[in-house]
């Protein structure tokens, strides 16, 4: 239990979080896993814009950590909302989560279909109007039929958005990735699969990663702040709590829904 919460002991000294800085004249907002909850996204976006309007920093960056789709019933609407954002002074960075990775893989090959649908892809298919229960035409595999429907119903701009997602982002003393990083591996040499999918090896580590890792992917009832990482997936699809980390100078705070 304690190892799960605090990690295993390692020799390397971790730089205190209070000594990490985001950069001069910069504020960074980082949003955790949305998972098809567009109404929470809209509320949180309004709060972020209100907060940003009252700040003196000239550079304002909004980093989304991925997992926009699946589980909640409005994945399509989430992507539409993200695409429609703009008209303000926020720089936006969109990272790729493991759920976007699975969705894109399903568009190419159906082998991942049952697994993807089992951990939330069925909700995404529903949001795009894909019939997952109807019988496929004679001689057509069920997953091939579902894939063909998704390809037909998925707007080209949504495909372009998904394909444009990046795997990580760096600001000052912070490194942003959906799931985390592999301990012992330099940040510039991380495997894409680890950045999107890693869990226990990263979560249990007390290693110094070179920067504080800001991540989602693993649900906690409250933001998890450790000297080497900050986790902000608060299970919005089920809890109704969507979390944004705010970084300014050496300070950090949180904005949440509701």
Per residue in 181-222, pLDDT tens?
A: 999 999 999 999 999 999 999 999 999 999 999 999 999 999
CA–CA dist 144, 109 (Å, integer) = 9
Q: Bridge-partner residues for 168, per DSSP?
A: 177
Q: Is the pLDDT of residue 119 over 60?
A: yes
Number of folded domains that form the chain: 1
The pTM assigned to this predicted structure is: 0.92
Whole-number Å distance between alpha carbons of 160 and 108: 14
- Which of these, 219, 236, 224, 254, lies nearest to 47 by C-alpha position? 254
Geometric angle at alpha carbon 113, from 232 and 31, rounded to 5° = 15
Average pLDDT over residues 224-234: 96
Task: Calculate ∠ Cα 181-182-186, nearest 5°.
Answer: 85
Percentage of the chain surpassing pLDDT 90? 86
Task: Return the CATH number at 234.
Answer: 3.60.21.10
Is 8 or 205 the better-scoring residue by pLDDT? 205
**Residue 115 belongs to what domain range?**
2-256
User: Contact, 99 vs 173, CB < 8 A?
Assistant: no
Helices 98-108, 156-164: axis angle to 10 degrees equals 130
Contact yes or no for 177/168 (Cβ under 8 A) = yes
Helix, strand, coil % in the chain, rounded to nearest 5 = 40, 20, 40
CB count in 10 Å sphere of residue 42: 14
Contact 48, 61 (CB under 8 A): no
């Amino acid at each position: 239990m304690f190892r799960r919460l605090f990690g295993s002991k390692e020799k390397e000294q971790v730089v205190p979080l209070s000594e990490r800085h985001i950069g001069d004249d910069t504020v960074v907002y980082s949003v955790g896993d949305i998972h098809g909850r567009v109404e929470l996204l809209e509320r949180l976006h309004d709060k972020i814009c209100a907060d940003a309007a009252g700040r003196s920093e000239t550079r304002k960056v909004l980093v989304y950590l991925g997992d926009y789709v699946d589980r909640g019933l409005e994945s399509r609407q989430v992507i539409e909302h993200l695409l429609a954002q703009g008209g303000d002074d926020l720089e936006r960075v969109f990272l790729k989560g493991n759920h976007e990775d699975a969705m894109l893989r399903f568009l190419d090959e159906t082998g991942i279909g049952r697994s993807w649908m089992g951990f939330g892809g069925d909700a995404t298919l529903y949001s795009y109007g894909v019939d997952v229960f109807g019988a496929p035409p004679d001689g057509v595999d069920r997953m091939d039929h579902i894939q063909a429907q998704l390809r037909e119903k998925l707007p080209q701009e949504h495909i372009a958005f998904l394909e444009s997602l990046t795997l990580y982002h760096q600001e000052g003393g912070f490194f942003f990735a959906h799931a985390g990083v592999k301990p012992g591996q330099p940040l510039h040499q991380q495997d894409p699969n680890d950045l999107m999918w890693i869990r226990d090896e990263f979560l249990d580590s007390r290693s110094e990663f070179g920067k504080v890792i800001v991540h989602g992917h693993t649900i906690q009832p409250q933001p998890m702040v450790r000297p080497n990482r900050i986790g902000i997936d608060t299970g919005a699809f089920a809890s109704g709590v969507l979390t944004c980390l705010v970084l300014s100078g050496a300070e950090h705070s949180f904005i949440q829904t509701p």
